[in-house]
Amino acid sequence: MRAYDIIARKRDGFSHSKEELAFLIDGYVQGKIGDEQMAAWLMAVYFQGMNNEETALLTHLMEHSGDTLNLSAIRGIVVDKHSTGGVGDKTTLVVAPLVAAAGIPLAKLSGRGLGFTGGTIDKLEAIDGFQTNLTPEQFTEQVNQIGLAIAGQTANLVPADKKIYALRDLTATVESIPLIASSIMSKKLASGADRIVLDVKFGSGAFMEKRQQAEVLARTMVQIGQELGRQTVAVLSSMEEPLGYAVGNSLEVKEAMDTLQGHGPADFTELCLILSGQMLYLGEVAATPEEGYTLAKQCLQEGRGYDKFLQMVQAQKGSLAHGLPQAQHRHVVCAEQSGIVQAIQAKEIGHCSMLLGAGRECKGAAIDLTAGIMLHKKTGDTVQAGEALATLHYNDAYKHRAEEVAQKLQHAYTIETETKEKTPLVWKII
């Protein structure tokens, strides 16, 4: 078999056999097939696509390209959750303790943020001393003891995705549904979950801006889960505007803690309850997703989710004794005109937050955990000229950017006199 022939088959619109895909993926991970041939194949997939069977096979091969996490030592059905990413998306910080409090063992491997989107591990590291590097033994032991652990991914989990994703990034082949679906699902499957809830975002701050595209991605991932024996549900949710009011690591942890104490923003709280309801249903703690929603709401109202969060912080050596760290400076951005907020470009807000130091401009860069943006107005809100739209939080190192960011933030808001129908928070559940 030759990589050349595999590339030519995909270029000409044929589908691959298991042997062909295995030859390609194994060969690439082992360095026997070079970047130039893999890049050509990725471009062929970009144009010709892959059928469901090929996509599931690719996912399976990628899943097994390195270590996989064995969670069989954890008692009960392990349900995982994944978000395709967005701005102000701190749902894991609320959903994980809520479902753990309701009785599902939650063993979650999370990532770091890149570009305009944030990552759960960075957010948790805003808590003084919080350890995200757990050994597999510490991880499973903590889940068995308190029902919840959130840790960073180990170095050798799905190496095929690490290599392929880096190449896709350089060759304009990221935006391919089978490649995105296999990349996300291979990591979920290698992380050992029995059942999976996916939060697939659409809108201005999402990876897939169009609802229809997001739906195809969601259906592809659900299908992969089914083919590979893991029950999977996808919630299609809006990322037309940032989720909640807080964007930036420490600010988002504070908002998540407020939410767990019953004082969270309405949109964010609702999405957390919907996702928790689905997880409790898949974990067989609730007979229906609706019953799961009610159960999650009870855990929230009774403070049991918050207690679980505090237990996790303590178990992972974090301390909230001195509160969360805060940035040195604030800059209030005010509306230039009166009206109703029609839209807030989520991606622009994420970009503004990154420019203040809260996000990584490139992989591996250091970030400022205290920086970010607190929105004061969301779509549908009435605003008077001169009233605060948002507050920038930043430190000395980013002071020179504050004015530029304030201008950008102004432009991210659309304020008009008429009301426009708001995009529903959850569009579909698949």
> Which residues of this protein are in contact with ligand URA, per CB under 6 A?
165, 174, 179-180, 183-184, 207
The token pair at 141 is: 């032991």
For tokens 């599931």, name the residue: 56
Residue with Cβ nearer ligand URA (162 or 351): 162
Question: Residue 110 Cβ, how far from ligand URA at the closest point, in Å?
Answer: 12
Residues with catalytic roles: 82, 161, 168, 183, 187
Q: Which residues contact 324 (CB under 8 A, 6 or more apart)?
A: 126, 127, 250, 253, 254
Residue with Cβ nearer ligand URA (28 or 207): 207
Judge contact between 324 and 127, C-beta under 8 A.
Answer: yes
Residue with Cβ nearer ligand URA (150 or 164): 164
Residue type, 392: L
- CA 67 to chain centroid, in Å, comes to 22
262 forms beta bridges with none
Judge contact between 402 and 371, C-beta under 8 A.
Answer: no
The rounded distance, in Å, linking the Cα atoms of 425 and 428 is 10
Question: Residue 207 Cβ, how far from ligand URA at the closest point, in Å?
Answer: 6
Question: Residue 295 Cβ, how far from ligand URA at the closest point, in Å?
Answer: 30
Residue with Cβ nearer ligand URA (184 or 349): 184
**Which residue number places its CB atom closest to ligand URA?**
183
| Neighbouring C-beta atoms of residue 32, cutoff 10 Å | 10
Burial of 321 (0-12, 13-18, 19+ CB in 10 A): exposed
Question: Residue 208 Cβ, how far from ligand URA at the closest point, in Å?
Answer: 9
Question: Residue 165 Cβ, how far from ligand URA at the closest point, in Å?
Answer: 6
Residue with Cβ nearer ligand URA (131 or 213): 213
Question: Residue 111 Cβ, how far from ligand URA at the closest point, in Å?
Answer: 8
Q: Which residues contact 311 (CB under 8 A, 6 or more apart)?
A: 146, 148
- Alpha-carbon torsion, ordered 276, 272, 113, 97, to 10 deg: -60
Residue with Cβ nearer ligand URA (183 or 269): 183
Residue with Cβ nearer ligand URA (113 or 283): 113
Question: Residue 221 Cβ, how far from ligand URA at the closest point, in Å?
Answer: 11
